[in-house]
């Protein structure tokens, strides 16, 4: 988290009526989040984290849920920030690990997951909306506020705990196994663990996707681990997997000897569905990375959809969706877009030879002349068709679309995928084929017009 020693300690600052928690995070000597909670009595409680509405500076603002918490302008914690709230809009009452929401006959209503309620239970991870503001309920220590990080955007205690474990692991030479679903950020955390600014200057060996490793690769890894155990100069081993070692051993996909080495330090990376409060911080950080020239805003309807989506593809899928929406935006606000239905390969589609427009069978033309990336990708496909190229590889598309720009192959692949997905959404549909790792127009699907 940007400090030399990696244990978290929560230092409370003054706050009013027990409703709003404002604090700073400092770093102490090495230890785990779990041990810190046990020692300091910082038990997990229910917290509302702002997602929608309110001032931009209040993004991810945290409100501690106390028994009988009033949501409304009669509560000083809400009056200045949410003027659309009724004076006594709703009340939250803790019931075990959930909170009961009771609407107090508010003018504009109270909603859970987009559904208006008079009284209902709100579970962690669900979106509560009232008076133009939206909050996700989560479980976290009452005094926890996430620190800023140069690599990661997050608001959840779950991810903060995983990140703290990564930082603590920097001080050890033991192999580390990062376990989590596809696209959850295991590789990024592995790179954080092996970062040049880590406390240890030891070299690192990164092994990706243990769950797909062959027997030969597993034996080679076992040899490397045995060498590292007795050789201080051997590289530190960091492994990622979509499944825990015990599950891989049970299904006979992992050597038991290798599992015994890798089970010593396992860090679980929570899926995005378990930490929806991280979604919008990730979106805003990625938009800034894509275009740092000025602020981007999100339409409330889009923000609601992003927060409520289950994201089975996790962070990878979220970033691809953000790039698709950003490519399709003409201003600095991301909106939900009513996309054309994907066309079949037999539809009579027409495209401009310069890649500036797409026209469907009804003569409806979509102008993309002002969208440089989409136009460049479409023009590359047109030129490949006209020159008789069998397939256009993603690297070839990237070279034509971002000439002279140096990027990792993985980043180029992702950029091209996002652009092609956007073109499909704008009407090309299955007219663009993905075959053997390359792209092309389906035979007879597109008429190229000068």
Rounded CA separation 42/7 (Å): 14
Rounded CA separation 129/114 (Å): 8
pLDDT at 215: 92
Residue-range domains of the chain with CATH = 44-141 (2.60.200.20), 157-268 (3.40.50.300), 272-334 (1.10.8.60), 349-449 (1.10.10.10)
Residue listed under structure tokens 């015990």: 246
3-state secondary structure of 99: strand
Q: Is the pTM of this model over 0.75?
A: no
pLDDT at 328: 75
pLDDT at 39: 40
User: Hey, what's the torsion of the CAs at 313, 318, 320, 322, to 10 degrees?
Assistant: 160
pLDDT at 428: 87
Q: Could you tell me where the DSSP H helices lie in 94-156?
A: none
Contact 7, 36 (CB under 8 A): yes
User: 3-class secondary structure for 232-257?
Assistant: CCCCEEEEEECCCHHHHHHCCCCCHH
Directed axis angle between helix 409-423 and helix 372-387, to 10°? 90
pLDDT at 202: 63
Rounded CA separation 101/121 (Å): 6
Provide the residue count of the chain. 450
Rounded CA separation 90/69 (Å): 9
Q: What is the pLDDT along the chain (450 residues), one digit of tens a residue?
A: 333 222 232 323 223 233 333 222 222 222 334 433 334 446 889 999 999 887 777 888 899 998 889 999 999 888 878 888 999 999 999 998 899 999 999 988 999 988 899 999 999 999 999 988 999 999 999 888 888 999 999 999 999 999 999 999 988 889 999 999 999 999 999 999 987 645 455 688 899 999 999 999 999 999 999 988 888 888 889 999 999 999 999 999 999 999 999 998 999 999 999 999 999 999 999 999 988 887 888 888 899 999 998 898 899 999 999 998 888 777 777 876 544 334 443 446 899 999 999 987 777 789 999 999 999 999 999 999 888 887 888 889 999 999 988 888 777 888 888 888 888 888 888 788 877 778 888 887 888 998
| Phi/psi at 220 (5° precision) | -65, -40
pLDDT at 131: 87
| Beta strand spans in 246-373 (E) | 266-268, 297-298, 333-334, 349-352, 357-359, 365-367
pLDDT at 337: 57
Distance of alpha carbon 16 from the chain centroid: 33
Q: For strands 23-28 and 7-12, give the pairing.
A: antiparallel
The DSSP letter of residue 330 is S
C-beta atoms surrounding 202 within 10 Å: 15
Tell me the two tokens of residue 180.
Answer: 């989590």
pLDDT at 368: 92
Nearest one of 315, 411, 329 to 368, comparing CA atoms: 329
Rounded CA separation 11/23 (Å): 6
Rounded CA separation 9/224 (Å): 36
Interior angle at CA 69, CA 67 and CA 75, nearest 5? 150
């Amino acid at each position: 988290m940007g400090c030399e020693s990696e244990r978290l300690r929560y230092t409370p600052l003054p706050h009013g009526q027990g409703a709003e928690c404002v604090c700073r995070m400092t770093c102490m000597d090495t230890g785990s989040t779990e041990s810190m909670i046990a020692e300091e009595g910082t038990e997990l409680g229910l917290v509302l984290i702002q997602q929608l509405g309110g001032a931009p500076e209040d993004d991810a603002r945290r409100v501690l849920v106390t028994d009988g918490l009033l949501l409304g302008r009669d509560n000083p914690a809400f009056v200045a920030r949410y003027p659309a709230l009724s004076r006594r809009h709703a009340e939250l009452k803790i019931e075990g690990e959930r909170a009961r929401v009771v609407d107090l006959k508010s003018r504009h209503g109270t909603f859970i997951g987009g559904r208006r309620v008079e009284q209902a239970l709100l579970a962690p991870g669900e979106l509560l909306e009232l008076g133009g503001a939206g909050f996700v309920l989560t479980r976290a220590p009452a005094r926890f506020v996430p620190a800023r990080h140069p690599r990661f955007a997050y608001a959840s205690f779950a991810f903060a705990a995983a990140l703290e474990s990564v930082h603590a692991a920097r001080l050890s030479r033991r192999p580390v196994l990062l376990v989590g679903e596809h696209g959850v950020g295991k590789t990024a955390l592995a790179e954080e663990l092996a970062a040049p600014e880590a406390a240890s200057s030891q070299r690192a060996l990164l092994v990706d996707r243990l769950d797909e490793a062959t027997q030969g690769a597993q034996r080679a890894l076992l040899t490397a681990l045995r060498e590292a155990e007795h050789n201080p100069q051997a590289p530190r081993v960091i492994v990622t997997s979509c499944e825990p070692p015990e599950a891989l051993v049970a299904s006979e996909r992992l050597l038991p000897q290798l599992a015994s080495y890798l089970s010593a330090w396992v860090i679980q990376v929570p899926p995005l569905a378990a930490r929806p409060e991280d979604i919008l911080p990730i979106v805003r950080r990625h938009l800034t990375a894509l275009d740092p020239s000025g602020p981007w805003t999100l339409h409330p309807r889009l923000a609601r959809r992003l927060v409520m989506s289950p994201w089975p593809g996790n962070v990878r899928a979220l970033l691809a969706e953000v790039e698709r929406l950003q490519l399709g935006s003409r201003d600095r606000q991301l909106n939900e877009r009513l996309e054309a239905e994907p066309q079949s390969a037999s539809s009579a589609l027409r495209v401009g030879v310069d890649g500036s427009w797409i026209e469907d069978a009804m003569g409806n033309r979509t102008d993309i002349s002002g969208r440089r990336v989409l136009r460049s990708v479409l023009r590359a496909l047109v030129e490949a068709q006209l020159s008789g190229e069998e397939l256009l590889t993603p690297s070839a598309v990237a070279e034509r679309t971002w000439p002279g720009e140096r990027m990792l192959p993985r980043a180029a692949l992702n950029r091209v995928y996002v652009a092609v997905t956007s073109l499909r959404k704008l009407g090309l549909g299955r007219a663009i084929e993905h075959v053997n790792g390359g792209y092309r127009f389906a035979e007879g699907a597109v008429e190229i017009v000068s």
